[in-house]
Structure 1
Amino acid sequence: MVPNKPDPPSTPFWNVNVPPSQHTETCPGFLTYAIDTNPRDRAILSTPDSDYIRQSWPQVQQLVRENRPDLFQRVPSDLRLYKEYCAKLVEEYGSVMRFVVEERLGWGDEGVDGEVEGGLGDPVVFDEANYKILQNDWPYGIDSRIVHLVVWTKFTLLTNPATEDLTPEAHAEIERFVDETFVAKCGREKVVWFRNWTSLKSIQAVEHFHVMLFDPDAKVVREVTRGDVAFAEQVKKGYGLGG
């Protein structure tokens, strides 16, 4: 009788999607949060990229309609790289927010503490000097034809503190801006936008909302972002990962 073979040792989640030569016996500091406090991220990080299924455009539209931004997630290897670089940015800049404000937005302190005069009902709020559209530096694990942009603003997007939802006035103003800036160029069925719940926002002090475009004309994306390139693409090239 042949004894049952023992199950092969499982790969620790922090070594999944990492070349064997780079495996470590202990969890890197930038991933220890996933051991006890974030089982969702631990499950994602434990998934080989080859098993990950990207969310489709209909799924993206549904999540936005249902106001479930918490159900978006990143490709496992992208999540790992995101956490690693966030840790490096904190070391160099003091916070990820400071990096975004100084390097990505070029706003200095005004993008952190300053607010323009007026409210979202004021038609001059979405003036070119008061917002910037950039590629999402670390986009979600969605259909690769979807372009994920972030609209950063120097003014507050008013919300209901009890629900974290935008006020009707703020929602209407953003909707108007999105229609003029994106829908008019891409078509209504190819555009969605949302604002993360406060508890989900990785950059708390700089106001922003997300826009996703399905298979847009590359020229349109270059125009609205002024040729911006996601930071993740620069990082991947530095690692020799393409992008």
Structure 2
Amino acid sequence: MGSLNPTDSPYWQINVPVSLRTADCPAFLLDLSAKDKGIISTPDSQYHVLTWPEVQLIISRNRIDLFQRVPSELRRYLAYNWELRQKYGSVMEFVLQERLGWEVPIAAEGKPFEEKTDIKVLWNDWPYGIDERIVHLVVWTKFELEDDPKTDDLTEEARAKINEYVDEVFGKRAGKENVIWFKNWKSLKSVHAVEHFHVMLFDPDPDFVREITNGDVPLSRKV
């Protein structure tokens, strides 16, 4: 059958069975960033799955650029997003139409975190390479979470409001020690123009996850 990862294979053939390899690079793997190309070039067997303490450390140090997907999962993610762009024009349009069901222009009904209709909690469709006991959710909001242009990070006021929300909604049900959140820097966002931040829960009650996401299932489990 042959190895999935012969050392002389081009990057787009890594983690791909021999029968499915292509001589030319697929369109969805062209023009990758150096980071993504490096990940795609890595055999899954060499990938280190992050533990909960490692996830906590990355977020506490605001080094969210260190989060990566398992190489074969990154390949699936890039392929799926490429198809979405062909069909919807952009990933943002797909998220708005199919995942959130929100109309443009997006208008909040109240101040930040006041109205439940301004918030939707869903699974992260393509989670990072982390301990499978960690549940990765995304909190989408119709209101803006203000960034400080000098730091490319949240303002202290916005951070305080998110902390209060996360403690109330997730901390009380999952335990504060099992909850951590982060918001991508603008330069790292995969979906622009729709405000959101990420919440990770360590080994939460599945019933709570179903409740808070209204029974959502991540796309990575469907395709």
Interval containing the TM-score (normalised by the shorter chain): over 0.9
Aligned to 2:141: 153
- Root mean square deviation, CA, Å: 1.3
* TM-score normalised per structure 2: 0.94
Q: How does 1:81-230 map to 2 (within 5 A)?
A: 81-109=76-104, 113-116=105-108, 119-120=111-112, 125-230=113-218
Aligned to 2:36: 41
Residue 122 of structure 2 aligns to a residue in which SS?
strand
Aligned to 1:52: 47
Query: Matched residues in 2 for 1:141 and 1:40: separation?
Result: 15
Query: Matched residues in 2 for 1:80 and 1:126: separation?
Result: 39
Deviation at 1:29, TM superposition (A): 1.1
Query: Matched residues in 1 for 2:114 and 2:43: separation?
Result: 42
Query: Matched residues in 1 for 2:109 and 2:154: separation?
Result: 19
Runs of 4+ in 1 over 3 A off after TM superposition: 117-120
Asked if the contact 1:126/1:177 (under 8 Å) is kept, the reply is no
Query: Matched residues in 2 for 1:180 and 1:207: separation?
Result: 20
Query: Matched residues in 2 for 1:224 and 1:152: separation?
Result: 13
Query: Matched residues in 1 for 2:97 and 2:35: separation?
Result: 31
Relative to structure 2, which stretch is displaced further, 143-152 or 158-167?
Answer: 158-167
Deviation at 1:208, TM superposition (A): 0.1
- For residue 67 of structure 1, what is the amino acid of its counterpart? N
- For residue 32 of structure 1, what is the amino acid of its counterpart? L
Instruction: Report Cα offsets for 1:39-89 as digits up to 9, x if no partner.
Output: 221121111112211011111000110111100000001100000010100
Asked if the contact 1:115/1:156 (under 8 Å) is kept, the reply is no
> How many residues are matched?
218
Query: Matched residues in 1 for 2:218 and 2:36: separation?
Result: 22
Asked if the contact 2:84/2:90 (under 8 Å) is kept, the reply is yes
Asked if the contact 2:109/2:118 (under 8 Å) is kept, the reply is no
State the identity %: 55
Query: Matched residues in 1 for 2:196 and 2:79: separation?
Result: 23
Asked if the contact 2:118/2:143 (under 8 Å) is kept, the reply is yes
- Structure 1: runs of 5 or more not aligned: 1-7, 236-243
* TM-score normalised per structure 1: 0.86
Structure with greater Cα Rg: 1
Instruction: Report Cα offsets for 1:133-182 as digits up to 9, x if no partner.
Output: 00000000011110000000001001111111211111111111100110
- Structure 2: runs of 5 or more not aligned: 1-5
Residue 48 of structure 2 aligns to a residue in which SS?
coil
